[in-house]
Amino acid sequence: MNPRQNLLTLEDWRSAYAAGAQPQALLGELLGRLSPTDPAWIARLDQAGLQTELARLATLDPAKAPLWGVPFAAKDNIDAAGWPTTAACPAAAYQPTADASVVARLRAAGAVLVGKTNLDQFATGLVGTRSPFGEVPNTFDADYVSGGSSSGSASVVARGIVPFALGTDTAGSGRVPAGFNNLVGWKPTPHRLGMQGVLPACKSLDVVSVFALTLGDAGEVAALIDGPDEGSPLPAPPLRPAWLPEKPRMGVPMLPELDTVLGYDAPWRQAEGRARALGAELVPLDFTPLFEVAALLYQGPWVAERYAAVRELIERSPEVMDPTVLEVISQARRFSAADAFDGRYKLEALARAIAPMWQKVDALMVPTAPTHPTLAEVAEQPVARNSALGRYTNFVNLLGMAALALPGGFTAAGLPFGVTWIAPGGADAALADWGRRWEQARLAEGDMVLGARLRLASPSDTMLRQLPASTPTLALAVVG
Amino acid sequence: MNPRQNLLTLEDWRSAYAAGAQPQALLGELLGRLSPTDPAWIARLDQAGLQTELARLATLDPAKAPLWGVPFAAKDNIDAAGWPTTAACPAAAYQPTADASVVARLRAAGAVLVGKTNLDQFATGLVGTRSPFGEVPNTFDADYVSGGSSSGSASVVARGIVPFALGTDTAGSGRVPAGFNNLVGWKPTPHRLGMQGVLPACKSLDVVSVFALTLGDAGEVAALIDGPDEGSPLPAPPLRPAWLPEKPRMGVPMLPELDTVLGYDAPWRQAEGRARALGAELVPLDFTPLFEVAALLYQGPWVAERYAAVRELIERSPEVMDPTVLEVISQARRFSAADAFDGRYKLEALARAIAPMWQKVDALMVPTAPTHPTLAEVAEQPVARNSALGRYTNFVNLLGMAALALPGGFTAAGLPFGVTWIAPGGADAALADWGRRWEQARLAEGDMVLGARLRLASPSDTMLRQLPASTPTLALAVVG
C-alpha cells in the first residue's frame, strides 16, 4: 500500500474538499510527486498551469461541479487546450486550440487535468512499449509490460496518482492495460461518446475509455462524458436496458487457450466459478467467427484507416515513426479502395452470422488478455507478442459492442488477471450492473485490493452512483 | 393509344382472370407480341417456359396469390432461377440457381416473369445506351434515350407490355427512366428490401426499384417485395410515419438549371404551382452540400465499389466490357483503401451537415432529371451527357433517403417531364401518400395519361391499395 497518498477515489477527493482542504495544497502536493522521469507521463501540469486551473476552479460552484478539484490524466492522443498533443510522436505534435469533447465535459465538471500520458505511438499497439517517451512498466512487476496502447493512463491510476484517467480503445487499448494493472476499464459502445478532439487511430472504430480504481468511479466518469458531439455520426447507436437478466447466460470461449506458464488457468477457473455462484449460466461458444472479425483489423483493409490518419507524416518522414508502428501501418499500402469495400462486405456478412449469438447468450465473459509478456519478450518479438494480446478484445469495436474490463484476481505469482464482459452495443449500463454484482462478490471474498495494492476495497467502492444512458422502460400502446 | 392491349394495370389483369380468362391465353398472346429485335429485352419467356409457369400457377390458390397470372419483367442484373443473369455483359453471364429475394416474393404472389430487360452494363449509367444488346430508345420519341440504367424495364412498362417491372437504383437508375417514359418510379430507402440475388453495382448503395403505370400498382408491388432478407445488413433502417404534414414544406433547388432548349422550365413551373395548390410550401434551398455528396459517387472512392463487383472480369478480360463502362469503373484504380476511408469520413461529415435540412423541410421536390439527351448526343459525349442526368438523383442513396419519381406533365414538344420527391430514409410510405394527392390533382386536370399515352388515367389509378411498412402510431408512456 502507498503510504503517501490516501486520496484514491472520487469520494476520497470530495471528502477532503468537504473537510476544508484547498485545491492549492492537495494538487500542489500531487504535482510535486510527479516525476519527470516517469515514462507514464508525456507532459505534466506545472505550477503556472496549476494557478490557471485554480483560477478556473474559483469560477465554478463546487455544489454544481461534481468533480471540483479532482485530478485526472488523459492519454496524449486526446486534445486539451493549452497542452500539445503528441500521440507519442513528437514530430507529429500539434497545439490544439480546444479541448476534446470529453475533456471539455470533465473540465466543466471541475476536474483538473494534471498530465498527458504515454501510449503506443498513434494508439497502435497493446503493449505500452512503442513510444519514444519510454516503455511503461507494469505497476505490479516492472519486468512485465503495462499493456497499451493506453499505457500511461493505466499506470498513473493503478499507482493512485489520479483517481481516473482517459484512454482510447480501438482494438483493446482501454481493456488490456486495465487487466494488467488491476483496474476497471470502461469501453463504451462505439460512437456513443463524442470523439471530437481525439486524434484518430481507426476513426470508424475508436472510442474514449475510462480507467478507474473502482467501478463506481468509472461509472460516474462514464456518465459525465456520455453522449454524442457535433462530430458524431448519425444516427446515434441505439440504447438497451440497464440490466442483464437475474440469471444471465454468458458465452465463454470453448478453448480459452490461456498462458499456463503464467498460471492464467487458475484465476480464470475461479472467475468462472464466481460467475456461476452469481447465477450466471456459462455457455461454451466457438469463437471462430469473432476471431475472423478480429483478423480484418490488422490483416485486412482496416489498417488503411490507421494509414489515413497519419498519411501526411508517413509519406513525408516515415523515419520519425516508431519502427514497429511504421511496419504495422505500412501494410495499408497493399490495400486498394476495392479491397476496403470487400472488407466491409466481409465484416457485414460476419456480423450477420454472429448476431444470432445474442439469442443464445446475454453477454460474453472472456479473459481480458490470454497472456502477459515481459518487456524483454516484446522487444524480441514486437509484432507477434503484441498480436497475441488482442485475442479477446480485437473483434469488439468492429461489431459495435460494449465491454467492461474488471479486476479478476491474481496469478500465483501475484500478477493481475483481468476479466472482460462484452454485450451488444448500447448495453453499457447493463454491463455495469453486472459488474456491481461481480465486485460485491469479490469484496465478500475479503482480499479485493484497489490498483497496485493501494488498499483493500470497501463496500462503497462497489457502489454504482451513476451510469451511462440506457433505454427508459416504456409501456407501448399501439393506437394506429 | 395502343389498340392491341387493354390489360394495363394490375386491376385490369385481375379483372380479366376474374371474368374467366385463362393465363394460357392471355400470357400466350403476350409472349407472341414480344419481338426478338426489341432492344428492351435481353431474354423472353418461351412457350416451354410458359408451360412451366402455368404448371406453377396451377399449384397456387388465386385467392391467396394477389398477382396470380400477372406478367412482369426484371432488369437483367436480378437473378431468376432458370434464366441467365447477364447484367448486359454476355461474357459475365451466369446461371443462378435461385430467385433473387424480390423475385421469389413476386413469384410466390403468383406473378409470372416474362422477360429479363436490358440495362446499362453492370447498371453503370443513366442513359440506356451502354449495352451490347442495343440502345433502348425512348418510348415517346425514338431519337431520345430511354434513360437508364433500368432502360428495358421502363420501356416495357411504358409500352403497356407488362403492368410493372423491377429495376435497380444506385445513382438514379430507377428514377431517370421513369421520368423519361411517364412512369411511376419507386426508389425505396436503401437496405429496406432484401438484395440477395441482385448483382451488385455499388453494393452498399443499391436498391431494387419498381416501375409501374400507376401509383396504386407501384405501391402494391412495393408492399409485396418489402422487407429484409438473410443478406440484409443489421440493423434494418428505421421506419417513419405514413404521411407528410397536410401542408408540407418542400425544399426545391434554388437554381434548378433546367434545359431551357427542351422547355423543361414550363412543366417545372407547372409542377411547382400544382404542389402549392395542394398546400405545399416551397422552400428554395442551396443544394451545394447535396451535390458535394453526389461528387463522391463517381469522382471519389465509391467507384471502387463498382470495381469490387466486377474485379475478376475487369482484371481478366477488360476488352469484353462496354468501353464507356470500362472507362468509368477503371477510375477505381486511382483509389487506395485509405482513400476509401477518407471518402467515408467525408460522406459522414456531409451527412451531418445536411441532416438539419429535415428540420426546415419535410421533403425535397426536384426535377427527376434536368435535361434529356438524344441517342446521338450521348454517342458523341457518352460520359458528360450521362453525368448531367444524375444531378437530382446521385446523392439520394449515399444519404440513405427514399424517393418517389412521378410523371409531371410534358414539354411543349411532347416529351415526358418527371418530378421526384425525396424524404428521409424510412419515409417511403409518406412519399406515397403525398404522391396520391399529386396524382389526384393531375387527374382532375383531365389530361393525365398512363405510360406512352396508353390511355387516360382513371380515378382508380390514383388509389393506394397497399403501402410499404411505416411506423405504427404509438402512445408512449414512460414508466421507469
Of A311, A335, A352, the CB nearest to B234: A352
* pLDDT for A474 beyond 60: no
Contacts of A344 in chain B (CB under 8 A): 204
Interface check for B261 against chain A (CB to CB < 8 A): the answer is no
What is the percentage of chain B residues whose pLDDT exceeds 70? 97
Residue type, A34: L
* pLDDT for B298 beyond 90: no
Residue of B nearest to A355 (CA): B234
**Cis peptide leading into residue B149 (ω within 30°):** yes
CA nearest to A316, candidates A84, A92, A76: A92
Cβ-defined contact of A476 to B476 (cutoff 8 Å): yes
Interface check for B299 against chain A (CB to CB < 8 A): the answer is no
**Cis peptide leading into residue B155 (ω within 30°):** no
Q: pLDDT-derived band of residue A5, with 50, 70 and 90 as boundaries?
A: low
Interface check for B357 against chain A (CB to CB < 8 A): the answer is no
Please give the mean pLDDT across all residues of chain B.
95
Structure confidence by residue, pLDDT tens digits, A116-172: 999 999 999 999 999 999 999 999 999 999 999 999 999 999 999 999 999 999 999
* pLDDT for B477 beyond 80: no
Secondary structure (3-state) at A314:
helix
Q: A310, A311, A336, A399: which to substitute to probe chain B, counting the most B Cβ within 10 Å?
A: A336
Secondary structure (3-state) at A199:
coil
Interface check for A338 against chain B (CB to CB < 8 A): the answer is yes
Question: Among the options B101, B131, B146, B149, which is catalytic?
Answer: B149
Q: pLDDT-derived band of residue A236, with 50, 70 and 90 as boundaries?
A: confident
With beta carbons less than 8 A apart as the criterion, state whether A30 and A49 touch.
no
Contacts of A308 in chain B (CB under 8 A): 338-339, 341-342, 345
Helix residue spans in A19-83 (DSSP H): 23-33, 47-58
Cβ-defined contact of B337 to A342 (cutoff 8 Å): no
Q: pLDDT-derived band of residue A197, with 50, 70 and 90 as boundaries?
A: very high
Cα gap B237→B240, rounded to integer Å? 10
Question: Among the options B75, B101, B131, B151, which is catalytic?
Answer: B75
Cα gap A118→A125, rounded to integer Å? 12
Cβ-defined contact of B352 to A307 (cutoff 8 Å): no
Point out the least confidently predicted range of A138-142, A234-238, B334-338, B434-438: A234-238
Which of 114-173 (B) contact A at CB < 8 A? none
* pLDDT for B359 beyond 60: yes
With beta carbons less than 8 A apart as the criterion, state whether B147 and B177 touch.
yes
Q: Which residues of A are catalytic?
A: 75, 149, 173
Cα distance from N-terminal residue to C-terminal residue, chain B? 64
Cβ-defined contact of A311 to B340 (cutoff 8 Å): no
Q: pLDDT-derived band of residue A2, with 50, 70 and 90 as boundaries?
A: very low
* pLDDT for A3 beyond 50: no
Quick one: pLDDT at residue A299? 82
Quick one: pLDDT at residue A156? 98
Which of 177-206 (B) contact A at CB < 8 A? 203-204
**Cis peptide leading into residue A356 (ω within 30°):** no
* pLDDT for B472 beyond 80: no
Q: pLDDT-derived band of residue A473, with 50, 70 and 90 as boundaries?
A: low
Cα distance from N-terminal residue to C-terminal residue, chain A? 64
Structure confidence by residue, pLDDT tens digits, B51-68: 999 999 999 999 999 999
Structure confidence by residue, pLDDT tens digits, A59-100: 999 999 999 999 999 999 999 999 999 999 999 999 999 999
Quick one: pLDDT at residue B299? 82
- The ipTM estimated for the assembled molecules is 0.90
Contacts of B311 in chain A (CB under 8 A): 338
Residue type, B343: G
What is the percentage of chain B residues whose pLDDT exceeds 90? 93
Q: pLDDT-derived band of residue A298, with 50, 70 and 90 as boundaries?
A: confident
* pLDDT for A477 beyond 70: no
* pLDDT for A479 beyond 50: no
Quick one: pLDDT at residue A342? 95
Contacts of A479 in chain B (CB under 8 A): 473-475
Backbone angles phi, psi at A359, to 5 degrees: -80, -25
Cα gap A267→A16, rounded to integer Å? 36
Interface check for A298 against chain B (CB to CB < 8 A): the answer is no
Contacts of A478 in chain B (CB under 8 A): 472-474
Q: pLDDT-derived band of residue B104, with 50, 70 and 90 as boundaries?
A: very high
Cβ-defined contact of B338 to A235 (cutoff 8 Å): no
Average of per-residue pLDDT across B296-304: 88
Half-sphere exposure of A324 (CA within 13 A, CB side): 22
Quick one: pLDDT at residue B294? 94
Point out the least confidently predicted range of A47-56, A234-243, B208-217: A234-243
Q: pLDDT-derived band of residue A300, with 50, 70 and 90 as boundaries?
A: confident
Cα gap A429→A13, rounded to integer Å? 25
Residue of B nearest to A477 (CA): B475
Structure confidence by residue, pLDDT tens digits, B205-245: 999 999 999 999 999 999 999 999 999 988 888 899 999 99
Average of per-residue pLDDT across A225-232: 94
Average of per-residue pLDDT across B454-471: 92
Structure confidence by residue, pLDDT tens digits, A336-360: 999 999 999 999 999 999 999 999 9
Cα gap A146→A162, rounded to integer Å? 17
β-partners of residue A211 are A165, A185
Please give the mean pLDDT across all residues of chain A.
95
Quick one: pLDDT at residue B235? 83
Cβ-defined contact of A345 to B301 (cutoff 8 Å): no
Q: pLDDT-derived band of residue A35, with 50, 70 and 90 as boundaries?
A: very high
What is the percentage of chain A residues whose pLDDT exceeds 90? 93
Contacts of A311 in chain B (CB under 8 A): 338
Q: pLDDT-derived band of residue B474, with 50, 70 and 90 as boundaries?
A: low
Quick one: pLDDT at residue B1? 36
Q: Tell me the C-alpha to C-alpha distance, in Å, between residue A177 and each of A173, B78, B351.
A: 7, 50, 36
Contacts of B474 in chain A (CB under 8 A): 476-479
| DSSP E strand boundaries for A256-300 | 281-285
Cβ neighbours of residue A260 closer than 8 Å, sequence gap 6 or more:
none
